[in-house]
Amino acid sequence: MNSAVARRTTKSNESSTRTVAFSLGGDALQGDSTDSYAAAAWLAGQKVLSRSLKYHRPRGAFCLEGHCSGCLVRIDGVPNLRACQASCRDSALVESQNAFPSAGFDVLGAVDKVYRRGMDHHTLMTSATVLNKVANRVVRALSGLGKLPTMTQAVLDNEIAQPVVAVEVDVVVIGAGPSGLAAATTIASAGHSVLVLDEQLELGGSYLADVRFGRAAAASAVATAQAAGATLLAQTTAIGYFAEPGNVRQGVVIAAAGASHGKWNEATLVRVQARRWLWATGGYAANLPFANNDRPGVLAARAVGRLLAAHDIVAGDNIVMIVDGERGGVPASEVRRHATAVADALSDEGCVVRTVSLADVATVATSLFGNDVTAIELSTGERIECDTVAVVALPSPASEGARMQGCDVTLDPDVGGYAVTVDAHGRTSVRGAYATGDVTGYLGPAAAAEHGQHIGAAIVADLTAGAQHVG
């Protein structure tokens, strides 16, 4: 464990939360009731949460948004849960996966040391049939993603009873970030029924990863949308869009509720039909290509911002930001403005923050067992001591759901990946489907909210006209 440990910010309002105690990897930890297990673990200095499937490299949180799989753990007997998407609960038992005897010291990590150039188990010990069979059995035992759930009565009840709730609304909005909330407010204010689905612990999207906005902006946008009449569901994953040719609405969005919403609970599947669909799914925190970029202690700059803005946690004492200096354009400029705001906030907390260009980075140096980041080594031979690395990269549009519906996408490096193609009114190539915000190309919170308001108005006009469109 690094000597430099994360800490609460000087602005933390601890009186507004409740302290809970839980177990992580056999260690007794504490966290605030508003913390995720991943955030509480980072605060306690436990950056290693699990091990990779094949080589047993140490794994920890990277995005803190539930998209990177670096923090998959077993919680109260249920495997493969995202530690960043589960709120701290009293007496919870959180266990690491794919490690023996622990994630912090995994003897199977020797595989990574021995096979530095990679291991193809299909050709391992092929000279002898018997040895090859033994080798394959061993590799299968070493790999995998967690173990089957502990069959408690609660788990059995959840598996057996899967109630389905059918909902019909004028507009379903997938994503409760700046653009989705702004659009929902505009549409609901016009008297239309709106259902907003969001998988995150808290509603607010990128507001909660940006120190320029934070919880106050998120809470305000949520309250405004609710006051307008929109129904908002957090911790509810939109599994995807499924076409139904005989359905007058053309298809449905199926969502899984991850928390109690009145008559809905964790076992509920929600079948949503709508007159219009709006994809406001935002973007994913992306990594940059440099050696050892998968080590615990390497975080997306958005994650460092989320620790500050949503959890009042300072990620470390000595932080190096790695920036892709080759990328230009408006989206990249907005990403750098966000990074600058994060760096300024960290400096105000007494942290040492330095910035280096991706082109100058040779590798991330780690401690003896590879569990802690210790420095950035540059191609010049210079070594910059640090305890945390923040990756400043353009988010990748989260366009999978829209693509499942058949919406056209455009691969554009300047917007970070496959962005949903829309016209000036947010209309996609699919009739009745719209997209707004960062899923159409990175905009940043302020511009995304403006875009959402504009697209919301376009949907209202479309509904009022009572006519479908052809994108």
Per the structure, the count of domains in the chain is: 3
For residues 383 and 357, membership in a common domain is answered with yes
In this structure, is residue 4 part of a structural domain? no
pLDDT of residue 1: 39
For 464, what's the count of Cα atoms within 13 Å in the CB-facing half-sphere?
10
User: pTM (2 decimals)?
Assistant: 0.89
Question: In this structure, are 414 and 320 located in the same domain?
Answer: no
Residues 373 and 455 in one domain: no
**361 and 436 fall within a common domain:** no
Residue 111, domain CATH: 3.10.20.440
Q: What is the CATH number of the domain that holds 407?
A: 3.50.50.60
Note whether residue 149 is domain-resident: yes
For position 140, what pLDDT does the model report?
66
Residues 152 and 106 in one domain: yes
**Is residue 460 in a domain?**
yes
Q: What is the pLDDT of residue 289?
A: 94
Going from the first residue of the chain to its last (471 residues), give the mean pLDDT of each consecutive group of 10, the final group possibly shorter.
68 69 91 92 93 86 92 90 92 88 78 66 61 69 71 58 81 97 98 95 96 96 98 89 71 67 66 93 95 95 96 96 84 93 96 96 86 93 96 95 95 84 97 96 96 98 72 40
Same domain, 127 and 233: no
Q: 298 lies in a domain?
A: yes
Indicate if 333 and 187 belong to the same structural domain. no
**388, 407: one domain:** no
Asked if the structure places residue 430 within a domain, the reply is yes
Task: Write the CATH number for 294.
Answer: 3.50.50
For residue 202, is it within any domain? yes
In a domain, residue 409? The reply is yes
End-of-domain residue from the set 349, 370, 392: 392
Assess contact for 302 and 285: CB atoms under 8 A: yes
Same domain, 121 and 176: no
Last residue of a domain, one of 156, 179, 214: 156
Rounded CA gap, 151 and 326, in Å?
Answer: 51
Judge if 384 and 409 occupy the same domain.
no
Residue 11 lies in a domain: no
- Predicted pLDDT at 145: 73
The reply to whether 151 and 266 lie within a common domain is no
Per-residue confidence (pLDDT) for residue 163, from 0 to 100: 73
Q: Which residues contact 113 (CB under 8 A, 6 or more apart)?
A: none
Whether 384 and 360 have beta carbons less than 8 Å apart is answered as: no
Residues 91 and 172 occupy one common structural domain: no
Region of 262 on the Ramachandran plot (φ > 0 left; ψ -120 to 50 alpha; else beta): left
Q: In this structure, what token pair is assigned to residue 314?
A: 């300072």
- Pick from 392, 426, 451: which residue ends a domain? 392
Instruction: Note down the domain range covering 208.
Output: 165-283+398-465
